[in-house]
Amino acid sequence: MRESKIGLPKGIRPVRQQVKYGMDQSSTTQGPTGIVMMNLGGPKTLDDVRPFLLKLFEDREIIQLPAQRFLGPYIAKRRTKSVRQKYDEIGGGSPILAWTEEQGRGMCERLDKMSPETAPHKFYVAFRYVHPFSEDALRAMKADGIKRAVAFTQYPQFSCSTTGSSLNELWRAAKNVGLQNDFEWSVIDRWPTHPRFVEAMAETVKQGLEQFSEAERDDVLILFSAHSLPLDVINRGDAYPAEIGASTHEVMKRLDYSHEYVVSYQSDVGPVPWLGPSTEKVIESLGEKKRRNVLVVGIAFTSDHIETLHELDIEYGEVAHKAGITNFKRAPALNGLPVFQDALAEVVHEHLQAGEACSKQYGLRCPGCVNPQCRNILNPVEPYKRTNVSMSKDTKLYKAAS
């Protein structure tokens, strides 16, 4: 494996150069182990909506706008009212923090039993645009005396727009709070076909199918819906669509291909072209083709939030109703499903046992990557260094953020 040409910052020791975790049979524990659960997050209350949108529209790693420093806040302000209303309609806020904490507790309980040599295990939530942020997680880890840390994405399928961005933010945050030398990091950057995750997803599909009457059940079309990405992200070579394909195929294999299924992409906004087929248009077309029983499954989401509770259930529910789909149901999100907590624990346990810094793929920048910070910022587990993009902080793309 090639070494970084820039070298590692003083004090950073990537795990792959250490003794493998889980291999030490001595009685002393190597713990505590801190597990950072990274996700987008969502506003917990209606008052969190505006700051959440402000942070989202300021992030040049996700959205590039002209004069972003001014246009970002303007758009965030304009959209606040309608987005607040959506959160109001789903109960006044996103349940994603509550679910992540429940999942984290279940994961750590299981890990303490599965892997006493790395116990105790503690989880820390790091959201992208709402508390708790990466900084919050890092400070809490420091206070808890954590040395060994695992950055664990809660997006099963990798995209630079999701996991890539969260990891970049984590490394930036470590530097911002002066904790860049305090943890021995490794990264779980994807787990699209982990068998227990597949089992958990298949379980939600089964629960979804049970919502149909026995007479209708065989007729159900399963619509796997994932968050879409702009085509320019896809055309750079982002791994996401192939990993979505892999996840859906594994789930259907586990269900013995019991039903017809389609993969589609939701939540496209704005004037740029997005990856299709669009979930909304697929629902309309299925109605035109006289399909009457459709089960939608959020294949890229691990808990309920606005994209499931509002977009799928309310907005697309109306689309389905208008299109004549009599029975439009949604499989429950993984949320508090015990087998999903088994999955999270197994993913971490296998990662600790393998003793790897990250997947081979995490070292790979998309062929068409234009983000100068990608794999190029302070990154304690960076296994490669192949970029010819300047590290200068005042490049055009990041001007607003620097």
Least Å from the CB of residue 348 to its own copies: 18
Among 100, 115, 159, 278, binds its own copies (CB under 8 A): 278
Which of the ranges 65-73, 129-137, 249-257, 334-342 carries the binding residues for its own copies, by CB under 8 A?
A: 249-257
Among 4, 258, 267, 395, binds its own copies (CB under 8 A): 258
Alpha-carbon gap, residue 161 to 240, rounded angstroms: 9
Among 97, 111, 114, 221, binds its own copies (CB under 8 A): 221
Least Å from the CB of residue 238 to its own copies: 8
62 and 166 Cβ atoms separated by less than 8 Å: no
Residue 16 touches its own copies, criterion: CB under 8 A: no
Which of the ranges 177-185, 258-266, 304-312, 336-344 carries the binding residues for its own copies, by CB under 8 A?
A: 258-266
Least Å from the CB of residue 258 to its own copies: 7
Residue 364 touches its own copies, criterion: CB under 8 A: yes
| Cβ neighbours, 10 Å, residue 229 | 21
Least Å from the CB of residue 384 to its own copies: 8
Among 285, 327, 353, 395, binds its own copies (CB under 8 A): 285
Dihedral of CA 124/125/128/131: which sign? negative
Angle formed by the axes of helices 96-114 and 338-354, nearest 10°: 50
Q: Between 146 and 348, whose beta carbon lies closer to its own copies? A: 348
Q: Is 328 helix (H, G, I), strand (E, B) or coil?
A: strand
* Residues 288-307 close enough to bind its own copies by CB under 8 A: 288-291
Residue 369 touches its own copies, criterion: CB under 8 A: yes
Alpha-carbon gap, residue 196 to 200, rounded angstroms: 6
* Residues 180-209 close enough to bind its own copies by CB under 8 A: 192-193
Residue for token pair 């790395």: 118
Residue type, 392: S
362 and 189 Cβ atoms separated by less than 8 Å: yes
Residue 388 touches its own copies, criterion: CB under 8 A: yes
123 and 98 Cβ atoms separated by less than 8 Å: no
In a 13 Å sphere around the CA of 374, the CA atoms on its Cβ side amount to 27
Residue 263 touches its own copies, criterion: CB under 8 A: yes
The alpha carbon of residue 342 and the mean position of all alpha carbons in its chain are separated, in whole angstroms, by: 18
398 and 373 Cβ atoms separated by less than 8 Å: yes
Q: Which two tokens stand for residue 89?
A: 């309609």
Q: Is 255 helix (H, G, I), strand (E, B) or coil?
A: coil
Say if residue 17 is exposed, middle or buried (CB neighbours under 10 Å; 0-12, 13-18, 19+): exposed
Least Å from the CB of residue 311 to its own copies: 18
Residue 234 touches its own copies, criterion: CB under 8 A: yes
Among 12, 114, 141, 286, binds its own copies (CB under 8 A): 286
Number of amino acids touching its own copies (CB under 8 A): 56
303 and 95 Cβ atoms separated by less than 8 Å: yes
Residue 353 touches its own copies, criterion: CB under 8 A: no
Q: Between 128 and 194, whose beta carbon lies closer to its own copies? A: 194
Interface residues with its own copies (CB under 8 A)? 1-2, 192-193, 218-219, 221, 231, 234-237, 239, 241-246, 248-250, 253, 257-264, 273, 276-278, 281-282, 285-286, 288-291, 359-361, 363-369, 386-388
